[in-house]
Amino acid sequence: MSSRFGNRRSVTYRTLVCAHDAGGANQLLYFHEKFVNPTYLLTGPAIKIAQNLNLRHFSHEADLDLSDFDLVIVSSNSTPQLSDVILASAQRNGIKTIGVLDHWVNFSTRWSARPDIVIATDFLSMISCVIHFHSRAKYWPSQYVIETIRSYTGPSRPEQANAGISELTVLFMSQRIFSTFDHSALSQTCLCPSISGVLANHTFKKVMIRDHFTTDSSECIASLKSRFPQYQFSIVNPDFPIADSLSLANVVIGWDSYALYVAQRAGLPVYTLMDKRRTLISPRYDRL
């Protein structure tokens, strides 16, 4: 249950790694090689991600004694979840804490209390991290992005370059969208009108929707099939590694999911459905 960090000196910690949301879990669990036999406490979408990585875990706080650990590492969450509870408990007991970010917005509401160290995983989030967390901010390159790009096997460049847009496969990235102002979840019904608007003005060969762990696109697909019978529609299970989904697509469209950033880093054309970025310090995507 220990971990080592840094090169200046070797320090071994008995480490508890805690995650719930998919985005935070991807960032955190792909760092597992940095940890030496850590203990994982996971709930929600994080469980399936751990299973894909063959990581054993606990799912109930009651199964663990927090006093057995001297370092707690938590993912960031869009809403308070188990990580928040564990973070607060660790700080009350004087245990060192690290938080790992997975996006570029709402930093001030990611945790109820600030971790001792806050990890940013790309240069843009590092800028915001320094602004919000000052000397607590540290940078670790995202192992999740590195591994996804390494695993990505997309269409060969000559094929993609010579294909017209009508011969391309588009992948829509579903996500749970929150208001920047009150952090409340917006209705998922925005998915169908947004996709319908794209398909009414652009022609593709195939249309795929990758579900978010919190969404179900089956009704949307049924509606789209009745309106656009000329398309081949399919739903991509969010349990599958993102690299596999990207390898099926030529174009990726979404709002501002971290998956868009991963697709962009993999070299795919990426477009956003949002009128403007929620923060200036975030990735820039073209609009259709």
Average pLDDT over residues 246-275: 88
CA gap 218, 174 in Å, rounded: 12
> Given pLDDT bands bounded at 50, 70 and 90, which one contains residue 94?
very high
Instruction: Summarize the confidence of residues 255-284 as an average pLDDT.
Output: 82
- Residue 259: which of 200, 189, 208 has the closest Cα? 208
pLDDT tens digits along 225-248 = 899 988 889 888 887 888 888 988
Quick one: pLDDT at residue 167?
Answer: 67
Report the alpha-carbon distance of residue 51 to residue 113 in Å, rounded: 29
pLDDT band at 16 (very low <50, low <70, confident <90, very high): very high
CA separation for the pair 142, 210 (Å, rounded) = 22
**pLDDT, tens digit, for every residue of 120-175?**
888 888 888 888 888 999 998 888 888 888 888 765 443 444 444 456 888 998 87
Does the pLDDT of residue 188 top 80, yes or no?
A: no
134 in Cβ contact with 107 (< 8 Å):
no
Average pLDDT over residues 19-24: 83
Q: Outline where the chain has alpha helix (H).
A: 22-29, 46-52, 82-92, 123-133, 143-151, 157-162, 191-201, 218-227, 242-246, 258-265
Could you tell me what percentage of the chain is helix, strand and coil, using 3-state DSSP and rounding each to the nearest 5? Answer: 35, 20, 40
Average pLDDT, the chain: 79
User: Which amino acid belongs to residue 80?
Assistant: P
pLDDT given at position 287: 80
3-state class (DSSP) for residue 160: helix
pTM of the entire predicted model: 0.79
